[in-house]
Each structure stands twice: as structure tokens, then as C-alpha cells.
Amino acid sequence: MRDGGRVSAAIEVLTEIETRHFPVKMALKRWGEAARYAGSKDRAFVSGLVLDALRRKRSLGWMMGDASARGVVLGVLAFTWKWPAERIAEAASEEHGFGPLSEAELARLKDPVSLDGAPAPVAGDYPDWLEPHLARALGADQAVEMAALAERAPVDLRINTLKADAERGAKALAPINAVPAGILPNAFRIPAPAAADRTPSVEAVPAFSKGWFEVQDLGSQIAAAVAGEVKGKQVLDFCAGGGGKTLALAAAMGNSGQIFAHDADARRLADTIRRGQRAGVRNLQIRSPIEAQPLKGLEAKIDVVFVDAPCTGAGTWRRHPDAKWRLSPDQLAKRQIEQDSVMEDASTFVKPGGRMVYVTCSLLTEENEDRVAAFLERHPEFTVRPIALDGVTHVTPEGYLRLTPHRAGTDGFFAAVLERSTYAP
């Protein structure tokens, strides 16, 4: 495909997302199934252009004076990908292109509207209703954090210490240009690709099939690490999902003790079984909700209960930019109810002297500090155990972990460690 056809396809996909409210993965899949002629580079180009448009669609629409899919895509090409106006005009007029540029479009490409007078949600690329929530959570750093959330994300990897060490892992990852990510010794990073480029195929590295490493955001790795010493312990991953943090915890346990993986959705646990086998985990028990009482017998017996709570995902917008446009006030309220319920249920498995780790991949205070405060109000037998982790400086005065793209170079994450007293409540 030539540039004009690729750009035209991106406009088509973005239009379908906006008019039919499809998730971006579904819209791209539908286009790919219809465009059998498109090669891997074409698909990477179209996907990258669509995702970059979703990351900055309000600010780009403002700069172009046109918030349509076409206007935003033209803005990506000019202001994010740095194409000169002449190249854009040439692509527009190609066969299968997206149609000649109008005089107004050409003028905006050369002289965009300044963002200096734009409202904060426009300049920061998020829905208007989120303004007070983000202002509360991010304070003076709101503008720089939202700018960081609109950037492309790197690919982070965790060396699986059940199969390899950091030195051997580094050699295996060298062909795909992975470098130490910092903070954690077993974390590596592939920098975000340039515009229209693809990230190297992680699965193609022979060591991946051997279980030497997993794809996992650095923030997620740090969140798992705040569980503290887990070797020889009884650990319950209460919302295990696909098993990313389950595997990180299992590696930290060194196949000692016992780790139980549970999730409300049995289908998600199927991937945990497969991934656990590849990673060489031998101390994992799957407790599926298809069983009548999957967690029976574990009440008040678990040393560490890890709660990766359902949340809005407001910390992952670099990777899932369509999520911020689909989020609504009702969904935020629903998540808070779910978070309270999950913490209530999970806390019953914490033994006296044990701890519960509450984690979200959200930036919003309503899902984080507020939920912990509400739980502690109901449960005086729990207290905050301030997080202390070597190399981690992103700890709030209350002792909680708060990671953000600008400050930590990770997805947005929150974690709190709550310790249960040794006396009966």
C-alpha cells in the first residue's frame, strides 16, 4: 500500500470507532479482515496512526480547526509524525488516497491554531467531565502527566528468575534492543517505536518460548514487588486475570510456599495455567469460580492476599487510548462499588498478622486513596503498612505507592499494603 491508501484506511477505522463505538482492537481487526492485501508494515502503519489519533484527538482537532476523523489524522501526520505539508498533500492525491486537501486544511497544516488558549481537557486530551477528578489526583503536575499519558508506551519485560537471571536474560534480549528499565534488577525495556514503526517481535525470541521472560509493564512489576517477602508464604492472587502478577509473585517465591490464583471470570484463568507452565511455576493452584466454593478452607489462613482490583484503567491510556473516550461517570461509580466489594471479600482470607495488597492501574483518587480510607473505616483491625522498596521513591506521605508516566516512566499504578492485627477483631 502507498501512503495515501494507508492514511485513508486509518481515517476509515477511526470513523468506525467514533460512529459505531467499536473498541479500537475490534475496528482494526475488521479492517484487517477486509484488507487481505495489506502487509504487516501496512497494518503497523494504520494501527499506529489510529492509536496516535486517539491519544491526542482533542488537541489535534483544535490545532486543525477540525475534530473529524480526517482532521485529527491530518494533525497526527503534521504535528506528531512531522510530515511536511507537501508530503501530506501528495499522499492525499494518490490513487486510493483520501482526497485533495482543502485550502483550509493546507493553511492549518502550515499554521495550526495555538493550544495556548485551549481548555485544559482539550490541551490534555481527555473528556471534560474528568477535569475535577484528574486535577484532584495530579495537582500541579496535571498538564505534564496528561501529556505523558498521550505518548506511545515502551514494551517492558520481566526476567523470570525461575528460568534465568538478569545477565542471561539481557543476552537473550539483546537482539530486540531491550535494555535495563531501572528500579528493579530484572526489568528490561524496549523503547517505544518511532511513528509508523513496529516494536520488535518479543515472541520471536527463542528464550520467550522457554519461559525466560514475560511482557509486563514496569509499573505492574513494581506493584507486585510491594507485596514484600513472599518466599515460603501462602499467597492468594484474588483477581488473577491473565496471570501477569501471579507469575511475578510466583517468581519471587522461588517455587516455595503456595500461590493460589482466583478470578471472578473463569475464562481468564485459562491463560494463567498455560503461562504458569511455560514459566516453570510448580507451586500454583488455580481456584476457579466454576467450582462451588473455590476458596473454601483458605479463610483467615493467607499470609499475603493480592488484590489487583477491577478499575477504569485510567493509568493505561498510553497503551489503550480509546478507553479514556469510552469511560463515563457511571462506569467510574460502578468501579468504586466493585472495588469496595472485592476488598471486603478478599480481606476475609488474610490471617492475623498477614497483609492485603490493594492495587489498581488507575490514577484517580476515587479508586485509590478513597477506597482504602473507606475500607479502613470499616475495618479497624487493618492498618497501613508504609511501602518501603529499594529503588522506589514514588511513595506518598501516607505510605502508598503512586506511579505515573511522567514521574516514574511507567503506566499509572497505585498500591497500598494493609496489615491485619494479630488480635481478633
Q: Where do the domains of the chain lie, and which CATH numbers do they carry?
A: 3-109 (no CATH), 155-215 (3.30.70.1170), 218-420 (3.40.50.150)
Looking at residue 199, its pLDDT comes to 82
Binding residue ranges for S-adenosyl-L-methionine: 263, 308
What one-letter code names the amino acid at 306? F
DSSP 79-131: IIS---HHHHHHHHTSTT---PPPHHHHHHHHSPPPSTTS-HHHHHTS-GGGH
Given the residues 146, 305, 361, 403, select the one marked as catalytic. Answer: 361
Looking at residue 200, its pLDDT comes to 85
pTM score, whole prediction: 0.95
Active site residue 361: yes
Looking at residue 196, its pLDDT comes to 72
Looking at residue 197, its pLDDT comes to 77
Task: Go through 176-212 and write b for each residue having 16 or more CB atoms within 10 A of its CB, e for each that does not.
Answer: bebeebebbebbbbbeeeeebeebeebeebebbeebb
Q: What is the mean pLDDT of each run of 10 residues along the chain (425 residues)?
A: 93 93 91 87 92 97 96 97 95 92 96 94 98 97 97 96 95 94 95 82 92 96 96 97 94 97 92 93 95 94 98 96 96 98 98 97 98 98 94 93 96 98 69
- Taken in order 328, 334, 335, 336, is the CA torsion positive or negative? positive
Looking at residue 391, its pLDDT comes to 87
Angle between helices 3-20 and 85-92 (to 10 degrees): 80
Three cell numbers, residue 195:
511513528
Binding residue ranges: 263, 308
Relative to beta strand 382-384, strand 413-420 is antiparallel
Looking at residue 424, its pLDDT comes to 53
Three cell numbers, residue 193:
517505536
Asked if 7 and 50 touch (Cβ cutoff 8 Å), the reply is no
Looking at residue 22, its pLDDT comes to 87
Looking at residue 270, its pLDDT comes to 87
User: Which residue, chain included where needed, has cell 485550502?
Assistant: 103
